[in-house]
Chain A
Amino acid sequence: DADVTQTPRNRITKTGKRIMLECSQTKGHDRMYWYRQDPGLGLRLIYYSFDVKDINKGEISDGYSVSRQAQAKFSLSLESAIPNQTALYFCATSDFGRGSYNEQFFGPGTRLTVL
């Protein structure tokens, strides 16, 4: 979805390096999410945020941190990258609809390789 952008699209780095993945959205949504995708495992939630001051851990937050710089921006950091963090990373947004059952809108993904 062009309304959700991620940078970089591809990144190769070395073990121990600090990496930041950035996500921006123009949909005006309050909620933003970071997932990682691994073959055969589907998507797993790393962190999510309801607004600038509300950040929550997902099921696999160890080794990651996030920053919600503004309503439209949500960054994911790997403080010291390790090879098993090699994956496809997706940012997603959703509206705070009644009942919170609105669909999520995904960015194009960042393919990260840690050597």
Chain B
Amino acid sequence: AQSVAQPEDQVNVAEGNPLTVKCTYSVSGNPYLFWYVQYPNRGLQFLLKYITGDNLVKGSYGFEAEFNKSQTSFHLKKPSALVSDSALYFCAVRDNGNTGKLIFGQGTTLQVKP
């Protein structure tokens, strides 16, 4: 069965420091991976995706993610965190069938402190 795990419920980082939000996945075949962010009282916003090609994917708001096939990971990163980055982050993998369904991780709350 396909699954996504986000091992940290919460990540705390000081403003200006680099941040990493972890994600590991389990799929058969090639993974199609996504990161979404949810700000309070808002829907999910797409950040970036990995389909194929370069292992380092760049997305919105200065975020990037590194795909590592051997470690089955797709960690979200940002070189310098902002207080406004504080939100709930979801990693997702596309279902292997032709449905377009996404399987989501549990979510990780990112808290950036001034």
Residues of A at the B interface (CB closer than 8 Å) are: 1, 4, 31, 33, 40-45, 48, 50, 56, 58, 90, 92, 94, 96, 99-109
Contacts and interface: CB of A to CB of B under 8 A. Distances in A.
Interface residues of B, number: 24
Given A42-B90, A42-B104, A94-B100, 18 more contacts: A1-B43, A4-B43, A33-B101, A42-B107, A43-B44, A43-B90, A43-B104, A48-B99, A56-B99, A90-B43, A101-B51, A101-B94, A101-B100, A102-B100, A104-B100, A106-B44, A106-B45, A109-B42
A106 B46 CA distance: 9
B101 A45 contact: yes
A104 B51 contact: no
Contact of B45 (A1, A41, A50, A58): A1
A100 B106 CA distance: 23
Contacts of A109: 42-43
